[in-house]
Structure 1
Amino acid sequence: MLDNPEPSPWWLRRRTWVVAAAGAVVAGTATVALVAQASGAACAAAVSSGQATYYAADGGGNCSFDQVANPMVVALGNAEYAAGAACGGYLDVKGPKGTVRVKVTDRCPECTPGHLDLSRQAFAKIGDPVAGVIKVTYSKVVNPPVPGPMTVRVKEGSSRYWLALRLDNTGNPLSSVEIQSGGGWKALSHTDYNYWIAQNGAGTGPFTIRATDTAGRRTTLSGVTLAVGTVQRPGATAASAAPKTPAASRSVTVTASAAESAVASDPPAADASDPPGAETMATAGATTGAQPAKRCG
């Protein structure tokens, strides 16, 4: 069995806050269970207050996502990062100049709860970079639009004996990832660098993966291959959050055609800087209009 080639420890990647005021896809199929709420509205979590700084983020960071050209991202302190459980989620952050939506992509060990370390680009949208530190309010976004279909990346070092998967474009953070094995489902363990691990491997593939997010949406991705280091894009459709009562919902199953999938070794062209409210969710063979998240009343 191959050892896990984990990324460099966080303290080896030095973070520098800029405080100017103080000193100057492989072909496959995807099946998604759709559970539509009667109200049809997505809700954001309660508003929190805190402060924001900024740093030279690239969209990657401790969550192991791909770098992007114009990152609208945030690093969270240990408590809010929650050992990687927050990776892939989105926050709406409001500052003196307006509001920006950012994706959680990184960890800030020095940040206390309520301290957001934004990318320079995101900070500039809501505050004056000369100030360096600004007061903000922020809230988690539930079921946000995303730039494209869910993707899977197989980590370097993976084999039939040890498998590590990173999922992106999930919208909400993931609560569990399972892999089909022996007629059932085997739960994968989550690392703080946002890979899901089958410690004893899962064979040579192709694999069928089932991901469940924190809103209860479940997506099944089929035809994921053991193609190390590539971003695989089995076509996927966004699913609504699980209903509170069975009577208020309906269930639909959508199966994507393998012909709609693509092979890629580079990250998707769209990135987290695209205005989420203007996006439409990518689907295989169809396009679903993405609705901006609404706050819970």
Structure 2
Amino acid sequence: MKMKKKIGLVFITMFFMMVSLSAHVSAAYNDVRTGYATYTSSGYSGGAAMLDPIPSDMKITALNTADYNYGGVKAALAGAYLEVQGPKGKTTVYVTDKYPEGASGALDLSPNAFKTIGDMSKGKINVKWRVVKGPVTGHFSYRIKEGSSQWWAAIQVRNHKYPVMKMEYYKSGKWIGMEKMDYNHFVSTNLGTNSLKVRITDIRGKTVEDTIPKLPADGSSDAYIVPGHIQFPD
């Protein structure tokens, strides 16, 4: 009887530890960061996140390196949406580039975003910001980088509601992790000649599965986009 009670206590303790861990992860994702914002007209083309083409009227930002690589994952917040609070109000921006010289918490906003929340003449303002659900509709899409083939491939997830932290593909009865690179693509080798079953995890730990058409046999000369069939839950 005592043994059963001990086992019961162990399971109860483990349950509350898991709940606590889940709450901690969620809180970390929802944390409000503080820092400063400057502004620049760059980031619409050739940004570190490789998300071209980006509409010229979109509110965007470059993000300091420490936050860009959130949780120790390269380019973790590439393609994320941030709600930014400044002296004059709030706005939502899309992360398209890195801000290498920026301190932790720093943003380099597009002018249309900066003027919404601050005085342009100041050039630099204090801000608070947090990651929010992206205002996107529809399913993921995938950018297959030039040179990708059955032997080596770099795949980028686009049009996601929340930042993408992890990508895996299924082969020979197991899930194989792909490495996320600074240029916001997941890379692996020997992916095979069949369509790819993939598993994608967001910043909240939510996971979805999708299928990508088979890769070129000998390598694509140009990058191309393929549609996905899934989206992260709200």
Q: TM-score when scaled to structure 1? A: 0.61
SS at match of 1:61: coil
Residue number in structure 2 paired with 1:54:
39
Distance 2:117 2:32 in 1: 16
1:5-24 superposed matches below 5 A = none
Residue number in structure 1 paired with 2:126:
135
Distance 1:211 1:134 in 2: 36
Distance 2:228 2:131 in 1: 27
From 56, 65, 82, the equivalent of 1:91 is 82
Relative contact order higher in (CA < 8 Å, ≥ 6 apart): 1
- Is 1:164 matched with 2:151? no
Distance 2:75 2:200 in 1: 16
Distance 1:115 1:175 in 2: 21
Change in Cα spacing, 1:169 to 1:202, as seen in structure 2 (3 Å) is same
Question: How far 1:50 sits from its partner (Å)?
Answer: 1.8
Read off the aligned partner of 2:98 and give its amino acid letter: R
From 110, 114, 138, the equivalent of 1:119 is 110
Distance 2:30 2:152 in 1: 37
Change in Cα spacing, 1:60 to 1:150, as seen in structure 2 (3 Å) is farther
SS at match of 1:239: coil
- Is 1:102 matched with 2:89? no
Q: What are the ranges of 5 or more consecutive residues in structure 2 without an aligned counterpart?
A: 1-25
SS at match of 2:121: coil
Question: How far 1:205 sits from its partner (Å)?
Answer: 3.2
Question: How far 1:59 sits from its partner (Å)?
Answer: 6.1
SS at match of 2:83: strand
Question: How far 1:77 sits from its partner (Å)?
Answer: 1.4
Distance 2:145 2:157 in 1: 11
Question: How far 1:218 sits from its partner (Å)?
Answer: 1.4
User: When you count helix as a share of all residues, which structure comes out higher?
Assistant: 2
Change in Cα spacing, 1:78 to 1:237, as seen in structure 2 (3 Å) is closer
- Is 1:77 matched with 2:77? no
CA contact (8 A) 2:138 2:231 kept: no
Read off the aligned partner of 1:50 and give its amino acid letter: G
CA contact (8 A) 1:151 1:167 kept: yes
Q: Does 155-164 or 167-176 show the bigger shift?
A: 167-176
- Is 1:63 matched with 2:63? no
Read off the aligned partner of 2:181 and give its amino acid letter: T
From 197, 214, 217, the equivalent of 1:225 is 214
Question: How far 1:118 sits from its partner (Å)?
Answer: 0.9
Q: How many residues align?
A: 197
Residue number in structure 2 paired with 1:175:
165
CA contact (8 A) 1:59 1:73 kept: no
From 185, 191, 194, the equivalent of 1:205 is 194
**Larger-Rg structure:** 2
Q: TM-score when scaled to structure 2? A: 0.76
CA contact (8 A) 2:161 2:231 kept: no
Overall identity of the aligned pairs, in %: 34
Distance 1:60 1:103 in 2: 15
Distance 1:59 1:224 in 2: 27
Alignment RMSD (CA, Å) = 2.1
Cα deviation 1:250-292 (Å, max 9, x = unaligned): xxxxxxxxxxxxxxxxxxxxxxxxxxxxxxxxxxxxxxxxxxx
Distance 2:52 2:64 in 1: 21
Distance 1:101 1:201 in 2: 39
